[in-house]
Amino acid sequence: MPKRQEEWITSQQAAEMLTNNSGHIVTPTYVRHLAKIGKIETKDIDLRTKLYLKSDVEAYQVKQRGDGSVRRDARAPRGGREEAIA
């Protein structure tokens, strides 16, 4: 039986596929993170470049974790600024 041909894609292509499948924006940086934690198989091209297994990307579903309100609230200014006593 012939071996199945594996198809490999770039992080940009993987991010576009995950964005289309998930309904929210997925960045190439997040694709690299998924590969680092073993969710997507990679293939090294050189010391800097990796490709991602298309079947792994197609099978993975990125879930929306929240609406960002916690981070927004944490970054919001907090009232008046107190002067430091030296």
d(CA 34, CA 62): 10
Indicate whether this model's pTM tops 0.85. Answer: no
CB of 10 closer than 8 Å to CB of 54: no
Residue among 49, 48, 46, 39 nearest 18 (CA)? 39
Q: What is the pLDDT of residue 80?
A: 56
Q: What is the pLDDT of residue 74?
A: 80
Q: What is the pLDDT of residue 17?
A: 96
Mean pLDDT of 35-50: 95
Q: For residue 55, is it within any domain?
A: yes
CB of 41 closer than 8 Å to CB of 56: yes
Q: For residue 75, is it within any domain?
A: no
Residue 67: pLDDT band with limits 50, 70, 90:
confident
- How many separate domains does the chain show? 1
Q: For residue 37, is it within any domain?
A: yes
